[in-house]
Structure 1
């Protein structure tokens, strides 16, 4: 089987990190893009920028395109899942064989954000306001992604993703 790359996307608080950790626990290659690929950069040029604070951090949250391309080209694993969000997704979305979008209702989102400490993204009021705005507008969610009900228990969410991946594989 050839290598396949999948993106697990969704707004803040939808469960991307939890899904990444569960995929890893099950033995899949899963990359937490927000922790392993991200940096603060100019969304137009990709040049790193420093001194960004507050909600501007979100707008400058980019993934290292060269690293994403190298990981996607690596054929050692049959499946690789990239989990997280990036403002420069347009520069590498073509590398993915499929995109899964984790979705939750607003009440679940607010409950999850309530559990975040203030030093974690979405823990401060201004960040929460932006998260809720992005939830309402869906302006950063890639179109054409496969919606996944992320209000279900984590094991079921991951089972659903894996079932959908397997259904696209040739028999």
Structure 2
């Protein structure tokens, strides 16, 4: 759905969902991949799996590759933002004109996780420990992404992303 497609990535608690909603509020085409494209699957084969919960669910959090490819190929919108993270990113990262990585410090991450209810990802202690580990190691952050300071107020974060998109393609 975009002549240009961008991925908004970052660890849990960095603000991907909030950025998605703000982009939509401003009239941009933004897809919440974690809610609209995700399923639980085998990261090697892509085959759906069932009864995966807790920390294991994170390792099986995939996006439907065919749907991502179809959305990226549709040229109706000038720009489309895909917001979220998946364990099968390597299967479709080539579709994006750029990747923005939302960055927060440990204190901000802790404050955001403390505000999550237990029934939301990151609300349980084991999930939180995994999130903190991944934040520290950055092992699931795509290399070469454009860092965005996501500790700033949400409107500033989105302004920064949009400014960079415009600089890359000033049409």
TM-score using structure 1 length: 0.98
TM-aligned CA deviation for residue 53 of structure 1: 1.2
Structure 1: runs of 5 or more not aligned = none
| 1:161 has 2:155 as partner | no
Output the CA distance in 2 between the equivalents of 1:110 and 1:49.
31
Runs (4+) off by over 6 Å? none
SS for the counterpart of 2:14 is coil
Q: How many residue pairs were aligned?
A: 170
Correspondence list, 1:92-107, <5 A: 92-107=92-107
Output the CA distance in 2 between the equivalents of 1:41 and 1:168.
35
Deviation by residue 1:29-68 (Cα, 9 ceiling, x = unmatched) = 0000000000000000000000111100000000000000
Give the alignment's Cα RMSD to 1 decimal: 0.8
TM-score using structure 2 length: 0.98
Structure 2: runs of 5 or more not aligned = none
| 1:152 has 2:161 as partner | no
Output the CA distance in 2 between the equivalents of 1:62 and 1:143.
19
Output the CA distance in 1 between the equivalents of 2:22 and 2:170.
25
Correspondence list, 1:97-136, <5 A: 97-136=97-136
